[in-house]
Chains A and B, each alone.
Chain A
C-alpha cells in the first residue's frame, strides 16, 4: 500500500498520470513525475519519478530519485537514489548511486552503482581545510 507521504508527493508533482490513463511515447519533464497509470515508451525527468502501486510501465526511465511501488519493465537510471518498495516489481537493469529494495519486492536484472562522489569529496576537503586552518591558528 502507498504510504501517506507517497500520496502527498503525488499531489505535489508537476506531472501526475492517474490510474486508468494510458500513455504511448516519450514523456519528458523538468519537474517531479508521478505515475499511477500505464505507459509504454520512455520517461526522462530531471526531477523525481514515482511509479505508484497501480502503475504498469514498459519503458526505460531516468530521473533524480526513482521510486518504484508498481511494475516496471525497463532500465532505470537515477542520479541519486533508486528504491523498490515491497509492492514493486522491476525487470531491467539499474544504474544508480544508492539502492534500496524492500522485503517482498521483485527485481530481475543487474545493478551498476555509481559512487556519489562529488558531495563526499567536497565534505572531506572542507573538513581537512578547516582542520589545517585550526592548526595554523
Chain B
C-alpha cells in the first residue's frame, strides 16, 4: 500500500505540471495509492506517521530534500519502505540513491529494491545524507538562492559567493570524537555524512570531512557546483575521519544545515543511531560492487 506525500511548493510547484501524467504512470505500474498534499512546513512528518498508523507500508516523498527529510523524521517503524519522487530544487538525496527524475522514480518504485541506511541524529533531528556547517551556512544567510534563468544573474551569484568565500573568517572548532580523542582546528566547511550514502556497500558510519581555507581554484569549483545545483564534494577536504559519535563546538557558534536546510546551531552532538530507514533505490552502480 503506497502513500504519496506531495509537497505542492517543491520545485516551484512542479507537481502541477506533472500531476496527471504521474498518477497515470503509477497506475500503469500497479503502484497507485493514496495521494496527500502538505499545507505547510513540518506537515510531511505528521502525515508519514499518520499513514503508518493507518497501515501503509510504503511512504513516498514527492518533493525535494526538505520533504524527504521531513518524511524520514515521521517514520516510526523499521518495516516501512520509503520512496522518493524528486521534484524539488535540491534533490541530493534522490541523486545519491540513483534517482534523477520522476519517470525513473516511478520505475524504481515499481521495482522495489530496498537498501537500509542508518539514521543520523543531530540534536533532536534525524537525517540520512549530509550535515554541513561553516562557509556554506554563512553563504545561505548572505547570498540568495541560485537563480534559475539568466546567465548574467548566475554569474553575479557566482561572483558574490566567490567574494564571500575569500572574506570568510575560519571558525575555531573543537570536536570530540567517540569519547576517544579531541580534534581542534580552524575550519572553512565541515560536512558529516553517512559513509554508506557515498558507497552503498560501505558500513553505516559517520564520515566527517573538514576543509580549512580553500585555494581560489577550489573556491571557484565549489561555487560552480553550487550553481549547477550539485552537492559540494569533499575533494578540498584536508581532514577526513570516520566516527560513530561526534560533539562539535565552534567559536563563534554557527548555523547548521541538514540536508540543505538550516535547522539548528552549534554546539551539537551527532551520532549514528540504531534506527534504519529502508529506501527504495535504483540498483547499486556498477563498479561499486567491488
Q: Does B238 contact A (CB under 8 A)?
A: yes
- Contact check, A41 vs B238: say whether CB atoms are below 8 A apart: no
Within 8 A of A (CB), among B231-268: 237-242
- Contact check, B242 vs A26: say whether CB atoms are below 8 A apart: no
Give a binary string over B156-177; 1 marks a CB under 8 Å from any A CB, 0 the rest: 0000000000000000000001
Give a binary string over B172-213; 1 marks a CB under 8 Å from any A CB, 0 the rest: 000001001111111000000000000000000000001010
How many chain B residues touch the partner (CB < 8 A)?
16
- Contact check, A25 vs B181: say whether CB atoms are below 8 A apart: yes
Q: Does A7 contact B (CB under 8 A)?
A: no
CA distance A14 to B195 in the complex (A): 11
Report the stretch among A15-23, A72-80, A96-104, A126-134 that lies at the interface: A15-23
Minimum C-beta distance from A57 to chain B (A): 13
Which of these, B183, B186, B238, contacts A23 with CB under 8 Å? B183
Q: Does A28 contact B (CB under 8 A)?
A: yes
Which of these, A16, A21, A24, contacts B185 with CB under 8 Å? A21
Which of these, B180, B181, B239, contacts A16 with CB under 8 Å? B239
Closest to A13 in B: B240
- Contact check, A21 vs B184: say whether CB atoms are below 8 A apart: yes
Main secondary structure of the interface of B (DSSP, over half): strand
Within 8 A of A (CB), among B1-60: none
CA distance A21 to B238 in the complex (A): 9
CA distance A102 to B238 in the complex (A): 27
Which of these, B180, B185, B240, contacts A20 with CB under 8 Å? B185
CA distance A18 to B187 in the complex (A): 11
> What would 16 more interface pairs be, CB under 8 Å, given A20-B186, A25-B180, A29-B242?
A16-B240, A17-B241, A18-B210, A20-B185, A20-B238, A21-B185, A22-B184, A23-B181, A23-B183, A25-B181, A26-B180, A27-B180, A27-B181, A28-B180, A36-B238, A41-B181
- Contact check, B239 vs A18: say whether CB atoms are below 8 A apart: yes
Closest 4 pairs (CB-CB, A-B): A25-B181, A18-B238, A18-B239, A21-B185
A sample of 27 inter-chain contacts (CB < 8 A) reads A14-B240, A14-B241, A14-B242, A15-B240, A15-B242, A16-B237, A16-B240, A18-B185, A20-B185, A20-B186, A21-B184, A21-B185, A21-B238, A22-B183, A22-B185, A23-B181, A23-B182, A23-B184, A24-B181, A25-B177, A25-B181, A25-B182, A26-B180, A27-B180, A27-B181, A28-B180, A37-B239
Q: Which residues of B contact A25 (CB under 8 A)?
A: 177, 180-182
Minimum C-beta distance from A21 to chain B (A): 4
CA distance A128 to B181 in the complex (A): 50
Q: Which residues of B contact A16 (CB under 8 A)?
A: 237-241
- Contact check, B239 vs A21: say whether CB atoms are below 8 A apart: yes
Q: Which residues of B contact A14 (CB under 8 A)?
A: 240-242
Give a binary string over A70-88; 1 marks a CB under 8 Å from any B CB, 0 the rest: 0000000000000000000
- Contact check, A24 vs B240: say whether CB atoms are below 8 A apart: no
Closest to B182 in A: A24
